[in-house]
Amino acid sequence: MIAILTDRPNVGKEIARIVGAHRFEKGYMTGNGYAVTWTFGNMLSLAMPKDYGNAKLERKDFPLVPGDFRLMVKHVRTDEGWIPDISAVMQLKTVEKVLAECDTIIAATEASREGEMTFRYLYRYLGCRQPVQRLWLSSLTDEAVRKGMTNLLPVRMFDRMFLASDSRNKADWLLGMNATRLYTIKYGQNKQVLSIGRVPDLEGIGEVEFELDRGRIKVNEYMETSVSGIYAPGDINGTKMLAHAAFRMGEVAAENALKGNHHVAKLNLTPAAIYTLPEVAAVGLTEEQAREKYDVAIGKFNFAANGRAIASDAAQGFVKVIADKKYGEVLGVHIIGPAAAELINEASTIIEMEITVEEMLKTIHGHPTFSEVMYEAFADVLGEAIHNPPKGK
């Protein structure tokens, strides 16, 4: 038996269908010599200080640097404190059972550093020893999956990608845990936890005297610093500390450095996503922010009425559209549901290109797809969503 491991249930079920694993089990599917299972995103994280015997830290305990980083099951906050996520615990047991019964493992997690880290962490956590091959996909079409299955790659090809992600994860842990807890001890009188988040690393700027703003290099809309001709895109300016925002800032900075200041990065339109289950994503204004300046119209549509979501056993959540009632300008889009991190990019494009609600509704969305929920939510702004109950007058 060959195990295929993905990091999303809907992806796992789609791959299972394509490879002929049609028999549904609890948390996995089998058939045609395959057992396809999945995680709910990254269900493991680096262990907390208490897991290293440091439940209550004092100044003498710093810096806290684990000799060997441990992994733990993802925790959730309750009224009694942080406890293991029961859904993650149960699915990990299922994954452990499936992998133990298979001779070979195919890693089919997301084709990214994070996806590679998700698989490697789980493989290590469960103490697996089976040989592994990598299914590297940029598309979930039948043709792409079948082609990928006939061209499986050796997992060692992605060692550097994993090391990059693992190093970043551990560096974030070291900075976050040490700085936040030391800051709490010094300023919180041990009564509450104070989070400082991430901070720019200014060690490499040398003796250049940039204008700073709360420890961040101040830049204008062209990404140029107070020193003419020097640009500082990305986390170092603290404007929008997201990888995709930093990438865009880098493009803008490079264009302006080469050809003069003419491009700007519209960071207010940066989509944000939270990779929970279901996923959460947003771009633009919230309803509360929009109502401060506009007469707004709201459209909403639930994934519970979407065929693709129902077939993927992921029919939870909704898409919410916030628009200016007078001109139909799209002000914000918020999504909770399957593939939210993917769908939000359509919304970001719509807002960036200043496409109105009516203009968006002239497009055709494939069926069955998750994106139909986006279309229906836009239609609901005008009271025209045919799969929604009529709006009250």
Catalytic residue ranges: 367
Question: Is 226:243 a contact under the CB 8 Å cutoff?
Answer: no
Q: What number of H helices and E strands is found in the chain? A: 11, 18
Cis peptide before 49 (omega within 30 of 0): no
**What sections of 188-299 are H helices per DSSP?**
243-259, 287-291
Closest-CA residue to 337 (of 362, 297, 371): 371
Neighbouring CB atoms inside 10 A of 347's CB total 26
CA distances to 298, 372, 378 from 386, in Å: 16, 12, 11
Query: Which helix H or strand E contains 356, and what residues bound it?
Result: none
Give the burial class of 219: count Cβ atoms within 10 A of its Cβ; 0-12 exposed, 13-18 middle, 19 or more buried: buried
- Helix, coil or strand: residue 37: strand
Angle between helices 9-19 and 142-150 (to 10 degrees): 70
280 has which bridge partners? Answer: 274, 336
Alpha carbons 160 and 126: distance in angstroms, whole number:
22
Phi, psi at 84, each rounded to 5°? -60, 140
Give the burial class of 134: count Cβ atoms within 10 A of its Cβ; 0-12 exposed, 13-18 middle, 19 or more buried: buried
Closest-CA residue to 279 (of 198, 328, 341): 341
Alpha carbons 306 and 286: distance in angstroms, whole number:
24
**Cα 277 to the chain's mean position, in Å?**
10
Both structure tokens of 282: 């947003």
Contacts of 181 (CB under 8 A, 6+ apart): 49, 57, 62, 64, 193
